[in-house]
Structure 1
């Protein structure tokens, strides 16, 4: 009787399809889920592209990609490329050889270690800066930040942290955001570097720099920045990328650099999207 019950012939026949499902490896289900997720994301992206088609960040014409400029706007950019001064990033009209310095860098060395900028502050570049700064176009920051990483010439890759030039609390309250911080956040995210807006604080409510001469700008921002106690840990000897939107006379970033170096920073690279200047030297 017992042997009959346990006999293989008397057992319930197994369903091959059920057995296949029961023994399917978890990786199979996971791969299917990933494929469905990727498909849904692609469909969602295409739907967004239909409702909000990609347009040129400069002129608004239709383009092939988001966060890009059209060929016409691109051709109008005055990009700052080598050869240029190793310290001030001033473009040379001809190549004087590697490691060359401009007369300005030799006669009046800056407090920061080097300056790098994407392009000259005119035309499309000026429109992009004004769009971000005055028209709340924070959607421009991803493209501008990526260009800044390339313009850094390896400085971002070698840096220990990314620090934006801060706004005074009152101006930040009025503007609602800091354009330098938006750019710095993008740069830090893409480069995988620590984003440290806590390192610098603006304690002096300065007048707007627009319209001021070089000497007036320097006096306006004198003593405007400090490194608070909360920002000092881990700063000693570090390589810092100091981010701003535009470099004009250097008064603002120089004042910020002095505060950083007094607190122990070892190396400061100033990185801006635009640079105001007349032409190559």
Structure 2
């Protein structure tokens, strides 16, 4: 049946539409233009670092100066070139099909962070923004990661107390101030977090302010540890 469908609907590159050999794949040129994160990375935010693996935990300059309320973090892509286009297509272009391959990439880098009983949850949108956009791209990603990792998924673990203004154009300090106290656990899920690990999922990490607010809410509710995974990380050299 799959072979027959491929004859009628041959697989296409998820980025440019060129013919490819497998569903939800990238063609050669698009793959080369998509900066996947590999090698030595910051253990807290997933930013690629120069040099060889020293056999010990290493952190980037930002994570050495900013207190991160989570234990570990990873990113599948750098937010530039074709990766940026894929993220924007998922977030604003109604390309919900991109969540499937993106979840595969994210699960690959997040697997070392997972432990038995991990609860997977997305960074939430405010209800008004969700109504306008019609979907939360982070929830689509977290659902895929949870399914692939065989972990429990809670799409509404967190909620936004207020509609925060856009982070675009704000300084690092302004980003953190904008998100301060904006996220909280949904009252009906408070008991699900206590004494268990949580993996928070988002599409992009820039300063880390949004993930910090989400992680703080989980820690306050008694999570044993909090890890984060994002589809793309904005790096200083991006």
The TM tier, using the shorter chain, reads over 0.9
Structure 1 equivalent of residue 152 of structure 2? 194
What are the ranges of 5 or more consecutive residues in structure 2 without an aligned counterpart?
none
Cα–Cα, structure 1 residues 158 and 81, in superposed 2: closer, same or farther, change >3 Å? farther
What is the aligned counterpart of 1:83 among 37, 40, 46?
40
Alpha-carbon separation, structure 1, partners of 2:42 and 2:117: 20
What is the aligned counterpart of 1:109 among 60, 63, 67?
67
Matches within 5 A, 1:245-260: 245-260=203-218
Answer yes or no: is 1:65 the counterpart of 2:19. no
What is the aligned counterpart of 1:174 among 119, 132, 145?
132
What are the ranges of 5 or more consecutive residues in structure 1 without an aligned counterpart?
1-41
SS in 2 for 1:245: strand
How much does 1:146 deviate?
Answer: 0.5
| CA deviation map 1:207-235 (0-9, x unaligned) | 11222221221121111111122011231
Structure 2 equivalent of residue 13 of structure 1? none
| CA deviation map 1:117-172 (0-9, x unaligned) | 01110111111101110011001111000000011142245551110001000000
**TM-score calculated relative to the size of structure 1:** 0.79
SS in 2 for 1:154: helix
Alpha-carbon separation, structure 2, partners of 1:108 and 1:73: 34
Alpha-carbon separation, structure 1, partners of 2:237 and 2:52: 15
Structure 2 equivalent of residue 230 of structure 1? 188
| CA deviation map 1:208-267 (0-9, x unaligned) | 122222122112111111112201123112111100000001010001111111111111
How much does 1:96 deviate?
Answer: 5.5
Structure 2 equivalent of residue 95 of structure 1? 52
Answer yes or no: is 1:243 the counterpart of 2:201. yes
Matches within 5 A, 1:1-281: 42=1, 45-95=2-52, 97-102=54-59, 103-156=61-114, 158=116, 160-279=118-237
Alpha-carbon separation, structure 1, partners of 2:31 and 2:192: 40
SS in 1 for 2:41: coil
Which stretch of the first structure deviates more once superposed, 157-166 or 173-182?
Answer: 157-166
Alpha-carbon separation, structure 1, partners of 2:218 and 2:111: 22
Alpha-carbon separation, structure 2, partners of 1:126 and 1:85: 20
Alpha-carbon separation, structure 1, partners of 2:170 and 2:184: 23
Aligned length: 237
**TM-score calculated relative to the size of structure 2:** 0.93
Alpha-carbon separation, structure 2, partners of 1:224 and 1:49: 46
How much does 1:91 deviate?
Answer: 1.7
| CA deviation map 1:64-118 (0-9, x unaligned) | 1111101111112222222122223232211251223234333333111111001
